[in-house]
Amino acid sequence: MSLESIKYKRGSLEVLDQLLLPLQTRYVKVDGVEDGWKVINKMQVRGAPAIAIVGCLSLAVELLKDNSSDKKIMRQEIEGKLNYLVSARPTAVNIKLAADELINLANTLCAGENVSPTEFKDRFISNIENMLTKDIEDNKAIGRHGCEVILKRLEGDGLVRILTHCNTGSLATAGYGTALGVTRALHESKRLEHVYCTETRPYNQGARLTAYELVHEKIPATLIVDSMVSALMRTRKITAVVVGADRVAANGDTANKIGTYQIAIVAKYHEVPFYVAAPLTSIDMSLTSGEKIKIEERPDREMTHIGEHRIAAPGINCWNPSFDVTPASLITGIITEKGVFAPNKLAEVIPQYQNKCSTN
Ligand code: MRU
């Protein structure tokens, strides 16, 4: 059974506290938007899809408790709360796209003459709830497409060795995962020999979370520290790098966890294909290039300490950007639920799918 990072039933939301993993398994109650903002900002829940889903579900929980019978007030409050949730972490675009779609839905329901306040609330909440199943379906499709494209190019011994970075599995999504979903699909098809996961400094999502998921799923895996990537590619035949994304710009430039960019450079040098696995909700067609992506900078403490233990010399200055941007020219393909696309084809292909995405 895969790990359950989000426990939801109507009116009740709990998230697995990822700051305590892998040593403790404890769920945190999210009783509304204020709690939703806090668990996202503190990174008790993280990963672009999970941030969007938990943020929106926190609004669903709050809305159910709201006894308002005035649709206009409800609409206005929904917009304010969604914008507040978006501010919890700036780089991942999924929550912003979800918020925009939900604000459109609230506008439509508010304007509908035959829609009662109770129906407004019910339809709005159901819509948010659908995100959970849709995300898992999308991830499974990403897994299938990724598995196919990697197997198609396979040469040599016919076995697949994947390198991944950060955490993109069940913990970062509603389930199954994106880049880790591709790895999972390869494992299910019995073609995966091994997966290597980076530690992912400074916050160790690889060592704490991906390693935990891989052990839990009994997928053959080895942990490396971030500085071992070049040596790994030189000495072991890596079939492909597969990473996730927090925001993909229209030209294919991709923001993902800090360290992704240098892995892409090393992959290019060693002629290892480099794939980004991400749902359409991670693609921001409003940004022409990665230069326009806002990169979140996080507290120094994430670098100077591991848990309560200080590891850096007191007094040293720190720079802690949480993400970097990999230029499209280093990316072999973007694996989405609709297929695998060359980065320079996104502008042509994606709008037709995104226009069809509807919250209704
Ligand atoms: O800071 P985090 O842990 O939220 O960063 C997560 C990543 O960078 C993931 O690779 C990305 O969100 C994709 S998750 C499916």
Residue 269 pLDDT level (bands cut at 50, 70, 90): very high
Choose among 337, 275, 357, 3: nearest CA to 139: 337
In the reported structure, the alpha carbon of residue 163 is separated from the centroid of ligand 1 by a whole-number distance in angstroms of 16
Mutational pocket test of ligand 1: of 93, 213, 256, the residue with most ligand atoms within 8 Å of the beta carbon: 256
Contact 344, 251 (CB under 8 A): yes
Would you state the pLDDT for residue 68?
Answer: 85
Residue extent(s) of CATH 3.40.50.10470 domains in the chain: 143-359
Residues, the chain: 360
| 3-state percent breakdown (helix, strand, coil) of the chain, nearest 5 | 45, 15, 35
Rounded Cα–Cα distance for residues 255 and 249 (Å): 8
pLDDT given for residue 291 in this prediction: 97
Question: Rounded CA gap, 177 and 278, in Å?
Answer: 9
For residue 134, give both structure tokens: 């849709």
CATH of 6-135, one of 1.20.120.420, 3.30.470.20, 3.40.1440.10, 3.30.930.10: 1.20.120.420
pLDDT of residue 355: 66
Rounded distance from Cα 48 to ligand 1 centre (Å): 5
> Environment class of residue 281 by beta-carbon count within 10 Å: exposed (0-12), middle (13-18) or buried (19+)?
buried
Q: Determine contact, residues 336/282, Cβ cutoff 8 Å.
A: no
Nearest CA to 257 among 143, 92, 87, 135? 92
User: How far apart are alpha carbons 14 and 11 in whole angstroms?
Assistant: 10
pLDDT in tens, 282-327: 999 999 999 999 999 999 999 999 989 999 999 999 999 999 999 9
197-254 pLDDT tens trace: 999 999 999 999 999 999 999 999 999 999 999 999 999 999 999 999 999 999 999 9
pLDDT at residue 100, as a whole number: 97
Find the DSSP H helices in the chain. Answer: 33-41, 48-65, 71-86, 94-111, 117-152, 179-188, 205, 211-216, 229-235, 260-269, 301-304, 346-356
pLDDT band at 3 (very low <50, low <70, confident <90, very high): confident
What are the pocket residues of ligand 1 if the criterion is a CB atom closer than 6 Å to any ligand atom?
46-49, 92, 166, 168, 172-173, 178, 205, 244-246, 256-257, 322
- Tokens describing residue 94: 């999924």
Q: What is the DSSP letter of 207?
A: I
Quick one: pLDDT at residue 358? 44
Phi/psi at 206 (5° precision): -70, -50
Residue nearest to atom 6 of ligand 1 (CA): 47
Any residues with CB less than 8 A from the CB of 310 and at least 6 apart, and which?
304
Residue intervals in the chain for CATH 1.20.120.420: 6-135
Q: Which of 167, 212, 254 to mutate to test the pocket of ligand 1 (most atoms within 8 A of CB)?
A: 167
Q: Name 15's bridge partners.
A: 6, 28
Question: Rounded to two decimals, what is the model's pTM?
Answer: 0.96
Give the residue-averaged pLDDT of 105-121. 96
Question: What is the C-alpha separation between 12 and 121, in angstroms, rounded?
Answer: 16
Does residue 122 carry a catalytic annotation?
Answer: no
Judge whether residue 357 has pLDDT over 80: no
> What's the burial of 316, exposed, middle or buried (CB within 10 Å: 0-12/13-18/19+)?
exposed
Least Cα distance to 110 among 84, 135, 74 occurs for 74
Any idea which architecture 143-359 has in CATH?
3-Layer(aba) Sandwich (3.40)
Cα within 13 Å of Cα(170), Cβ side: 19
Q: What is the pLDDT of residue 356?
A: 61
* Residue 236 three-state SS: coil
φ, ψ of residue 62 in degrees (nearest 5): -65, -40
Q: Which of 138, 246, 253, 324 is catalytic?
A: 246
